[in-house]
Structure 1
Amino acid sequence: MQPTHPFRVLRAKPLWIANGVITGVLALLFTVFYVGASIDPVDHMKELPVGLVNADRGAAAGGEQVNLGRQITESVKKSAASGDKIDWQVMDEKEMKDRIGQGKLFGALVVPGDFTSSVTALTGASATTAPARPTLTVLTNQSAGSVGSGLARTATTEAARNASLQVGRELTARNGSGSADLSTAARLLLADPAAVTVRDGHPLDSHSGLGLTAFYYALVLVVCGMLSANVISGQVDHALGYTHNDMGPRRLHRPLVRATRVQTLAVAGTLMAGLSVLMGTLVMVGAVGVMGMDASHLPLLWLFSVAAIAVSGIGALSLLAVFGTPGMLVVTLVFIGMAVPTAGATTPIEALPGFYRFLAEFEPLRQLTGGLRSILYYDAQADAGLTRAWVMMAAGLTAGVLFGFGVTNWYDRKGLDRIPAERKPEEAAVPV
């Protein structure tokens, strides 16, 4: 009798169908998550928070007190050009600086204190005088995300220029025939009185990856937890004798140690918690010590790194324990597929479609990125994302533990044994 050739399995339709469905669904889902989230951020943008500051002290003009800064801010707020895409938040300079320093604003428009006096000086300029042009300042905030900062910069600059033209039309109409006495340069400036300058509202160190080191550091932590969970799950199964372990050409196998699914998950979770200390330490040493990433609050960064890896890893272990072999696909979708596009690192949450905004509320990578931004960029301020990160990590750990141990305990009570019947005589008791 001729032995069956291994390649004959390629004739089996179930092999093609099962793998085709799995790989096809993965390809489609990753395309939807990655491309769909970033394909048109401007169209999807809604209520991007941008500060609006009027520091103008006003000035006397034509026998009355005038504050053109107030007109500028009112014009910007009422402008239909931005619709509901920009959430203009009126505040003073101190509050604006605080909120930019917490990553809660993607930018700001600032009307300076001498704006009215500088503008009204244009109407009093002689025919030979070249008056100085007053300036509106657009602040960016790259630490909150480069794309979000860029969107805020574009919208704010356009709003400032439109407001300048509106004020110019009002001044020209108010000045009437007096405009003829002005120099050509003064008349041109009167029609569009304000220059617009752009500067960084929250400068970062040069080793901050243009505001992306927090995201990539968080991604490393999640990947460490996710991949380590896969390794640990396999190694624990091998140590208990449930699976073989192929090391190159060698296949290793240990005597079977009978363990419930709950016990197996507990062993793997304990191993993950212990090894998270090692991994978190090495991640920080590699990023800060070897690569020179700008970072402060190093003890807090270390603690956060260890906790993030542990939570991600235990969550992944729970999914692997519940779903078995397909669990790694579920882990990949949860921790990478749905997480990266909703992390707010490149495209801001406010510029994502509604479904992705919903995912961003609980996806782990977004929470970790926010916490790391607080530690790395915002002096570890609690309300800059750090408190939310700790709370969501605690919630994620609780949910993962309850889900993992709850379902595996149900498997055990139902007698869904992992040990094949023909191997049960070889089993050993789990040492207590």
Structure 2
Amino acid sequence: MPHPTPPSVLRRPRLWVGTGLIAAVVSMLFALLYVGGNVNPKGNLRDLPVALVNADSGADAGGRHVNLGEQIVAGVQKAAKGDKSIDWQLVSREEADKRLGKGKVFGALVIPKEFTATVNALGAPQPAAQGKAVPPTLTVLTNQAAGSIGSSMSSQAAQKAAHAASAQLGQELLKQAAAQKAPLPTAAQLKLADPVTVTVADGHPVGSRSAMGLSAFYYALVLVVCGMLGANLVNSQVDTALGYLHTDYGPVRKREPVQHTSRVRTLAIGMALMLGMALVMGTLVEVATVKILDMDASHLGLLWLYSVATIAVVGLGSLALFAAFGTPGMLLATIVFVAMAVPSSGATVPLQALPGFFRALAEFEPLRQITEGMRAILYYGAQADAGLSRAWASMGIALVAALAFGFAVTRLYDRRGLHRIPRPGDEPEAPAETPETPETPESTGSAANATA
């Protein structure tokens, strides 16, 4: 007799509502986070750190000592009072180089030592002296290692300040020239109107195979993704080995006998396996990027240790979420480690150009800390105060939190009897064996009477 065809699962409203609700939340959340954090960086820009260096030694003019560099600094600081987008940090050249070399500033505006002397030479009354005068120069330093967009914003702000200073000096030089008896040629007047040459240089160069300062972010993102994917793989493989899941190989389905194991022990097995996978994955990531792709990198031993530790911590954190929340934990891990992490990492758009919500996320989101540590290793000579010590501390805190949360929740489930026992029909049934009972006179008699 043919079996009736069961109704299609597509007729079930719960399937459509449940799937549609999850898809709607995920798509809306990713759109708001990814685009919302980067849609208006200039409008959100606040306190971008830029060094301001006045190395000008000044010069004597008209019987008094003049330092035009101090005038430029005063003009920049005055303009900054009405514009909070740039945090001008007045430091020495040595200190500026240190901050550039640790990613503490995104660029610098440098006033050279002979600046006043060269400007005064332009205003000399002798035309011959003017023709031989060296044009005054202001130097703008960039720092792609701190982030290409942040470095670009810093460069634009520094060049704007330099050109404004040049225009101000030009007005003063033209007044001086007008007071002279001999009128200047038009070409000379144009030269005096904008006397300063603005040059742009790299304040902290990165290698040609460093993705223009983005290799640290891409490497960190690979580590986070490997940790999440590794946790998903470990979670499914452990459940398969314990008989809670089946495995399909094409048309063949394989399932192990169910081993009823406590949730605490299941989590411990998964975490132990994740540590082993972190060693393998971290090693292969470094081999692929450094050896095969020839990415610029130094401190290879530290880079390997950092890679393994990052994958392990992300993986253990994901496993803790899986154990606590089950299938929704996978979605939660994606939101924590990817959806909220990428736009708040400060890797492409600097934190100073993000809305306040994302700046708050950056204080604890793992990808920001991981990226800062990776920058320190790849670009800043593995200096502890360049972000590496903060990254290690953050990973330590995350590791302790993952272990405490995961084992506390699973232990609570076990104590309340919420064991992972499959429901009837979820596992293959073994053929029942009825034990034979020895015959007794009473049972024999009863059987005979029943027959009769």
TM-score norm. by structure 1 comes to 0.94
Deviation at 1:410, TM superposition (A): 1.3
User: Which residue, out of 231, 250, 253, partners 1:251?
Assistant: 253
CA distance in 2, matches of 1:298, 1:88: 36
Letter in 1 for 2:396: A
- Secondary structure at the aligned position of 1:206 is classed as coil
The within-5 A match list for 1:89-238 is 89-127=89-127, 129-130=130-131, 131-173=133-175, 177-178=179-180, 181-238=183-240
The within-5 A match list for 1:20-39 is 20-39=20-39
Q: 1:265-310: CA deviations, max 9, x gaps?
A: 1110011112211111111011101110111101100100010000
Q: 1:306-347: CA deviations, max 9, x gaps?
A: 100000100011111111111111111111111111111110
CA distance in 1, matches of 2:17, 2:125: 81
**Contact 1:56–1:67 (8 Å) recurs in 2:** yes
1:88 aligns to what?
88
**Contact 1:221–1:308 (8 Å) recurs in 2:** yes
Check if 1:336 corresponds to 2:338.
yes
CA distance in 2, matches of 1:136, 1:194: 7
1:368 aligns to what?
370
Structure 1 stretch displaced more, 120-129 or 280-289: 120-129
Letter in 1 for 2:21: V
Deviation at 1:191, TM superposition (A): 2.6
Greater gyration radius: 2
2:442 aligns to what?
none
2:13 aligns to what?
13
Deviation at 1:348, TM superposition (A): 0.5
- Secondary structure at the aligned position of 2:199 is classed as strand
CA distance in 1, matches of 2:181, 2:352: 45
Shift of the 179–394 alpha-carbon distance from structure 1 to 2, 3 Å rule, reads farther
Q: 1:214-242: CA deviations, max 9, x gaps?
A: 01111111111000100100110111111
**Contact 1:125–1:183 (8 Å) recurs in 2:** no
**Contact 1:122–1:189 (8 Å) recurs in 2:** no
2:437 aligns to what?
none
Identity across matched positions, percent: 55
- Secondary structure at the aligned position of 1:296 is classed as coil
1:386 aligns to what?
388
1:72 aligns to what?
72
CA distance in 1, matches of 2:429, 2:378: 54
Structure 1 stretch displaced more, 166-175 or 285-294: 166-175
CA distance in 2, matches of 1:264, 1:179: 94
Deviation at 1:3, TM superposition (A): 2.6
- Secondary structure at the aligned position of 1:74 is classed as helix
Letter in 2 for 1:233: N
CA distance in 2, matches of 1:424, 1:2: 23
Deviation at 1:192, TM superposition (A): 2.2
Deviation at 1:178, TM superposition (A): 2.3
Check if 1:3 corresponds to 2:4.
yes
Check if 1:260 corresponds to 2:262.
yes
Q: 1:328-382: CA deviations, max 9, x gaps?
A: 1111111111111111111001100000111111111111111110010011000
2:444 aligns to what?
none
Deviation at 1:140, TM superposition (A): 0.5
RMSD: 1.9
**Contact 2:50–2:106 (8 Å) recurs in 1:** yes
Q: Following superposition, which runs of at least 4 residues in structure 1 exceed 6 angstroms of deviation?
A: 423-427
Structure 1 stretch displaced more, 245-254 or 272-281: 245-254
**Contact 2:244–2:422 (8 Å) recurs in 1:** no
- Secondary structure at the aligned position of 2:297 is classed as coil
CA distance in 1, matches of 2:6, 2:147: 56
- Secondary structure at the aligned position of 1:341 is classed as coil
Structure 1 stretch displaced more, 66-75 or 253-262: 253-262
Letter in 2 for 1:22: I
CA distance in 1, matches of 2:408, 2:105: 41
Shift of the 81–163 alpha-carbon distance from structure 1 to 2, 3 Å rule, reads farther
- Secondary structure at the aligned position of 2:327 is classed as coil
**Contact 1:37–1:341 (8 Å) recurs in 2:** yes
User: Is there any run of 5+ residues in structure 1 with no aligned partner, and where?
Assistant: 428-432
Letter in 2 for 1:36: G
CA distance in 1, matches of 2:229, 2:319: 10
1:430 aligns to what?
none
- Secondary structure at the aligned position of 1:342 is classed as coil
Deviation at 1:152, TM superposition (A): 0.8
Shift of the 93–274 alpha-carbon distance from structure 1 to 2, 3 Å rule, reads same
CA distance in 1, matches of 2:127, 2:177: 15
Question: Number of aligned pairs?
Answer: 426
Deviation at 1:168, TM superposition (A): 2.5
CA distance in 2, matches of 1:77, 1:426: 80
2:410 aligns to what?
408
- Secondary structure at the aligned position of 1:346 is classed as coil
Structure 1 stretch displaced more, 196-205 or 109-118: 196-205
Check if 1:57 corresponds to 2:57.
yes
Deviation at 1:163, TM superposition (A): 1.7
Deviation at 1:174, TM superposition (A): 5.4
- Secondary structure at the aligned position of 2:180 is classed as helix
Structure 1 stretch displaced more, 158-167 or 25-34: 158-167
CA distance in 1, matches of 2:142, 2:299: 25
CA distance in 2, matches of 1:135, 1:179: 28
CA distance in 2, matches of 1:406, 1:376: 37
Shift of the 121–135 alpha-carbon distance from structure 1 to 2, 3 Å rule, reads same
Deviation at 1:188, TM superposition (A): 2.6
CA distance in 2, matches of 1:240, 1:96: 59
The within-5 A match list for 1:293-308 is 293-308=295-310
**Contact 1:157–1:196 (8 Å) recurs in 2:** yes
Shift of the 180–417 alpha-carbon distance from structure 1 to 2, 3 Å rule, reads farther
Deviation at 1:2, TM superposition (A): 5.3
Deviation at 1:4, TM superposition (A): 3.5
Deviation at 1:179, TM superposition (A): 7.9
CA distance in 2, matches of 1:20, 1:179: 84
Structure 1 stretch displaced more, 23-32 or 251-260: 251-260
